[in-house]
Amino acid sequence: MRKRKRTGWRRYVNGITISTTVTVLFVTLPLYLMLASSFKGAKGIGSAAFYPKDFSTSNYNNAFSQYTFARYILNSVLIAVITTALVLFLSTMAGYALGRLPMRAKLPVMVALLMISVFPAIAVIAPLFLLMKTIHWLNSYQALIVPYTAFNLPFAIWIMRNYMLGIPKEMEETSRIDGAGPLRTLWSIVLPQAKPGLFTAGIFTFTACWTEFLMALSFNSDNNFRTIPVGTALFGSPFTIPYGTIFAASMVAVVPIAILVLIFRKSVVSGLTAGAVKG
Amino acid sequence: MATVELESVRKVYPNGFEAVHGIDLEIADGELMVLVGPSGCGKTTVLRMIAGLEDISAGVLRIGEKVVNDLGPKERDIAMVFQNYALYPHMTVAENIGFALRLRKMPKDEVTRKVGDAAKILGLTPWLDRKPAQLSGGQRQRVAMGRAIVRNPSVFLMDEPLSNLDAKLRVQMRAEVSQIQRTVGVATVYVTHDQIEAMTMGDRVAVMREGVLQQCDTPQKLYDHPNNVFVAAFIGSPAMNLYEAAITDGCAAVRIGTQELPLPDRARAAHPGLAAYAGKPVIVGIRPESLPAANGSAAGVMTAQVELVEALGSELQVHFSIDAKRVIAEGPSDADELTTSGAGVARVGPHVPAKLGDPIRFAVDIDAMHFFDPDSGGAIWN
């Protein structure tokens, strides 16, 4: 087939570039407006200007000086990191067992996990709250770490299991013949090859913990245990909403996630498409 | 260094399928034993049972006098090379070869020395720091071999190690693997579905079909004296021509289709069992090279119709048809459906005037003819 070569402006203005631009703008514009507004002064905050006319960093200062934003960051980091570590450890073990080891009732387990992962969190908030109250876990780190781990595990297990399935069985058999036990095989042979799966599951879990609002609001009312989303939402007083400070805090909250995704983006993409085509 | 001994070894899967029906096999120290057969014949299952990757349902497996039925793979002191090499992609060549040694907590400098030695034998020294993805197929194959020999195991197991290579490299690696095996001098079980590989590499070859050992002997003996129709058809390329026939004239002739070939005394002497088949149907087998073109009109000439001529330079492979019913020993395949019922192949000299559609006359080498019982498929000798 003869392909017509586009020249001049036609090279850039075509269906694909236009639709790509629209999509990218659609996604990034709110983020940009948030960024721009976070640098606006008190006067400019109400305007819809695309750039801050009265550039100031006071919003950022306020977030840290007027509110305990640093504490929220610390709480969020602690909870997200511990949860992610737990989820990765457990999902690796479970994924290996479900993908590789001889085991009865694999299918029912996998289906049950899938069902749990689509269960709406709001449905379990009330009973969970009562449970937390009974065991005196309200206002603690574990009040969020344990349910976050439970809610993020199913998806992570599915990702890890699918990854394990993609690793040739002969590799584990070779390792067994070489004299490695199951745990050594998992650690030295399987895990290094399942890295993209680990990154994918890790980033999804971390992001989910980082942005979770409902449980964090319900279980931890003590300011010392609040995470970024709840803490930021409660900025201000009943009569004023400090939009600029909220924007600034939100920008700070986005940074770790953005960095993680930038570092691991290749692995995440390959993790999501694992098994789509035989490599 | 050890022998491997299988005594009535069976494999029955939980669903009741019996993959291996009681195999007896003895592999001497330093011997290269090839297990060959069509896919699904149980050869890989036998290998995996020797490796300890599959449970043995019944029977006894000994490696060097020791019964190893219930030992795990690592306690059997074996090394295995897989079809897809199963190299660890995240490790360098040196790390791949040294992995088993590191697991044994061998001192680092000794690992390095042993890996270096293995690499030297295999010509891998320049690539020790590369990852498997940066190697060619043949080099990866050698790394898999290196991983096996570096451990100095008592038994080598190889599961179709050459089938992922292209044809030219396969021929080259065939020789290399044999040579390495001889250098190391370890009992080796080599599984393949390629009968040429089996013939060229094996000290002895065990032919399997549907979980049953058909025959185990040296390649030449398998070729010259196949035990049954299956072995006769499986060993040799092009395959032996097998036809339904009958012993006629009081055991003085054999009739193939409408053509009758005289059976000289020496042929009867070589197959004394034939006397019992006088007037009865048999299966005759004629190797393609036992069908040279006939000149003159001597006795024992068979006439056929030329269907296709393949010129190989040194010889012609003449695909022909006769009016006899062909016997298919390996079950129908796609290729068989295309050929006519009396199809066969002959290897004749390069200058024989064989033309498509013309009749051709073969001077059948009666001495090299094989006879089989039509019911049991077993060879008729005594």
CATH code: domain of residue B163: 3.40.50.300
pLDDT at A279 (0 to 100): 35
Asked if residue A119 is part of any domain, the answer here is: yes
pLDDT of residue B187: 94
- Cα(A35)–Cα(A44) distance, rounded to whole angstroms? 13
Same domain, B357 and B282: yes
Per-residue pLDDT band at B169 (split at 50, 70, 90): confident
Given this model, what pLDDT does residue A276 score? 44
Are B84 and A170 an interchain contact pair (Cβ–Cβ within 8 Å)?
A: yes
CA distance B330 to chain A (A): 29
Q: Does B36 share its domain with B123?
A: yes
Does the pLDDT of residue B136 top 80, yes or no? yes
B191, B338: one domain: no
The b/e string for B182-216 (b: 16+ C-beta within 10 A; e otherwise) is: eebebbbbbbbbbbebbbebbbbbbbbbbbbbbbb
The answer to whether residue A247 is domain-embedded is: no
pLDDT digits (tens, 9 = 90+) for B346-367: 999 898 888 888 899 999 998 8
| B359 inside domain | yes
C-alpha span between B49 and B200 (Å, rounded): 25
pLDDT at A277: 44
Residue written as token pair 């592999």: B27
Q: Are B251 and B223 within one domain?
A: no
Most confident of A41-50, B40-49, B250-259: B40-49
Q: In chain B, how many domains are there?
A: 2
**B187 and B167, same domain (yes or no):** yes
For residue A278, is pLDDT > 70?
Answer: no
Instruction: Give the Cα separation of B332 and B124 in Å (integer).
Output: 44
Q: pLDDT class for B172, splitting at 50, 70, 90?
A: confident
Mean pLDDT score, B370-380: 91
**Residue A51 located in a structural domain:** no
Q: From CA B80, how far away is CA A174, in angstroms rounded?
A: 7
Residues of A in contact with B89 (CB under 8 A): 193
What are the chain B neighbours of A184 within 8 Å (beta carbons)? 103
Residue B325 and residue B229 share a domain: no
Domain contains A18: no
The better pLDDT of the pair B4, A237 is held by B4
Residue B332's pLDDT is: 45
> Range of B177's domain?
4-233
Q: Is the pLDDT of residue B334 over 50?
A: no
pLDDT band, residue A25 (cuts 50/70/90): very high
Q: Mutation test of the interface with chain B: which of A163, A178, A183, choosing the one with the most B Cβ atoms within 10 A? A: A178
**Dist. CA A167–CA B92, nearest whole Å:** 18
End position of a domain, from candidates B233, B253, B268: B233
Q: Are B224 and B262 contained in the same domain?
A: no
Q: Point out the residue among A170, A173, A180 whose CB comes nearest to the CB of B103.
A: A180
Q: Is B378 inside a domain boundary?
A: no
In a domain, A54, yes or no: no
Together in a domain, B154 and B253 = no
In contact, A121 and A227? CB cutoff 8 Å: no
Q: Does B106 touch chain A (CB under 8 A)?
A: no
Same domain, B248 and B198: no
Check residue B340 and give its pLDDT: 52
Where is the domain boundary, B211, B233, B255? B233
> How far apart, in Å, are the Cα atoms of B219 and each of A206, B144, B188, B348?
63, 26, 16, 23
- Per the confidence metrics, is the pTM higher than 0.90? no
Q: How many CB pairs under 8 A join A and B?
A: 52
Looking at B233, B259, B285, the residue that finishes a domain is: B233
Q: Transcribe B51-79 into DSSP letters.
A: HTSS---EEEEEETTEE-TT--GGGTTEE
Q: Does the structure show a pLDDT above 60 at A274?
A: no
Say if CB B139 and CB B145 are below 8 A apart: no
- If asked whether residues B24 and B153 sit together in one domain, one would say yes
Confidence band of B373 (pLDDT split at 50, 70, 90): very high
A270 within domain boundaries: no
CB–CB contact B74 A180 (8 Å): yes
From A175's Cα to the closest Cα of chain B, the distance in A is 8
Return the pLDDT at B338.
45
Judge whether residue B239 has pLDDT over 50.
Answer: yes
| Residue B299 distance to chain A (closest CA, Å) | 58
Amino acid code (one letter) for A158: W
CA distance A156 to A162: 10
Tell me the residues of chain B between 71 and 100 that have a Cβ less than 8 Å away from chain A. Answer: 72-74, 78-80, 82-84, 86-90, 99-100
Percent of residues, chain B, with pLDDT higher than 70: 96
For B377, the 3-state DSSP assignment is coil
**Which residues, 6+ apart, have CB-to-CB distance to B352 below 8 Å?**
B293, B316, B318, B360
Residue A178 counted as domain residue:
yes
Residue B131 in contact with residue B179, Cβ under 8 Å? Answer: no
**Do residues B120 and B193 share a domain?**
yes
pLDDT of residue A183: 87
* Cis before A154? omega within 30: no
The Cα–Cα gap between B305 and B322 comes to 7
pLDDT at residue A119 is higher than 70: yes
**CATH number assigned to the domain comprising residue B287:** 2.40.50.140
Range of the domain at A142: 72-240
Q: Is B147 an interface residue toward A (CB < 8 Å)? A: yes
Q: Give mean pLDDT, residues B216-223.
A: 95
Are B45 and B167 in a shared domain?
yes
Amino acid (one-letter) located at B211 = G
Domain count across chain A:
1
Residue B382 inside a domain? The answer is no
Q: Check CB contact under 8 Å for A175 and B99.
A: yes
Distance from CA of B74 to the nearest CA of A (A): 5
Q: Nearest chain B residue to A167 by CA: give it.
A: B86
B50-65: b or e for each residue (b if 16 or more CB lie within 10 Å)? Answer: bbbbbebbebebbbbe
Whether pLDDT at A196 is above 60: yes
Mean pLDDT along residues A253-278: 72
Q: What CATH number is attached to the domain comprising A101?
A: 1.10.3720.10
